[in-house]
Structure 1
């Protein structure tokens, strides 16, 4: 009986935690369909804020910038992160493996510090050599730098879970490096690579701090637009933008989770 009571208590705590985490998101979604321009009371269901959203050229441009930024940076980060993750696995037994710990720095470093350092770096290069003017290009580079560690760690964890004899089997079958990569490494890593891409995508689509410090006047993204819009107050139009961002991140997370469930890790 005591154990049953404890399990029920854990269940209640679990649902309370979920409510604490997702109740604010639910409120944002709910008020995005509110007819009245009010964040204090609900009136009747309406899609007019979404209609205004998609008829606003500034918001459409911000959405396009966010999409280009997320797709481009995620693609580059996935390629670079996969190579880094494989290198971490291949040289994990060498004396220089302590260098691997540097991959964790962009993850644990505060975004404000990282954003300021990126801005200073790009501005210095532009003043000295006339290259990398703040804009979408610098934002892509900045996003790649904090996405790569997440991709590398996902790929590395996938490789660590494999049986080392599989690599020896490739050598026994006289597979050259290209054949080994094409017929063994890439197929085995495909679920991790796809999941890493969607993780990088979600990190990029909702990033504000680093984007804010590395953006140019013509490269406003949705998070930056929302930040500037809420200075005038939270409106249902802002809630509609937030709802669309929640939907995009949720969709990417579901796809990543489904891929991992469909292709379980095997040793």
Structure 2
């Protein structure tokens, strides 16, 4: 009797948590189809705001900047972060406490402090050397700096979970460094590399503070555009943008789940 009550209590608690997390998103989706010009009241269903998004050049430009920024910074962070993670694993026997602190620092540092420091650094370089003025390039550099720790730690944790004798076995089979990287390291690290890339891309697309301090006048990203538009009030157009982002994330999650089920061992048994 007590067990059944406890389970019902846990189920009720679970649904309350789900409602707390997703009801605000449901409200945004609902009002994105609002026919009224204001989100203060609902005047019937309409797709007018989605049609306006397709003809909004500023929004499309911001979306393009976000995609370029996210993909470019994530690829650079993936390459450099993988090398850092491998270096941490190769020299794990040494005392690298100071290096671990440097890696964790961008993770625990408040975004506004990190953004202001990046802005000051780039402004100083531009003033004295005439390079790296606020632009998409400075945003990419800034994003790489806070993506690197996540990639390095993910790759390092994957290396730590490997059997060290696998590296010796590859050498005993006379595999060259390129062959070890191509036929052993890359296939082994593939799940971690994919996870690190998508995590970096998500952090980049989601970032507002650091992008705001390092962006140029013509390089607004989607979060910066939404922030500028929301200062004039929350409109159904903003809700439509948020709905499209929610749908994209849900689609990515569903595809990831389907791929995981397809690659799961024993699926044909």
TM-score normalised by length of structure 1: 0.92
The number of equivalent residue pairs is 265
- 1:128 aligned partner: 128
Q: Distance in 2 between matches of 1:261 and 1:133?
A: 47
- 1:31 aligned partner: 31
- 2:185 aligned partner: 185
Q: Which segment drifts farther, 8-17 or 126-135?
A: 8-17
| 1:245-260 to 2 correspondences below 5 Å | 245-255=245-255
- 1:22 aligned partner: 22
TM-score normalised by length of structure 2: 0.91
- 2:91 aligned partner: 91
- Partner SS for 2:231: helix
Change (3 A) 1:92 1:262: farther
Q: Structure 2: where are the runs of 5+ without partners?
A: none
Aligned alpha-carbon RMSD (Å): 2.0
- 2:208 aligned partner: 208
Q: Distance in 2 between matches of 1:159 and 1:229?
A: 45
Q: Distance in 2 between matches of 1:118 and 1:260?
A: 38
The one-character-per-residue Cα deviations of 1:179-204 (angstroms, maximum 9, x if unpaired) are 11111001100111111111111111
- 1:107 aligned partner: 107
Q: Structure 1: where are the runs of 5+ without partners?
A: none
- 1:143 aligned partner: 143
How far 1:106 sits from its partner (Å)?
Answer: 0.9
Change (3 A) 1:92 1:3: farther
Q: Which segment drifts farther, 251-260 or 203-212?
A: 251-260
Q: Distance in 1 between matches of 2:259 and 2:84?
A: 22
Q: Distance in 2 between matches of 1:244 and 1:162?
A: 40
Q: Which segment drifts farther, 42-51 or 186-195?
A: 42-51
Matched, 1:3 2:3: yes
Greater than 6 Å deviation, 4+ residue runs: none
Question: Is the contact made by 1:70 and 1:204 (CA closer than 8 Å) also made in structure 2?
Answer: yes
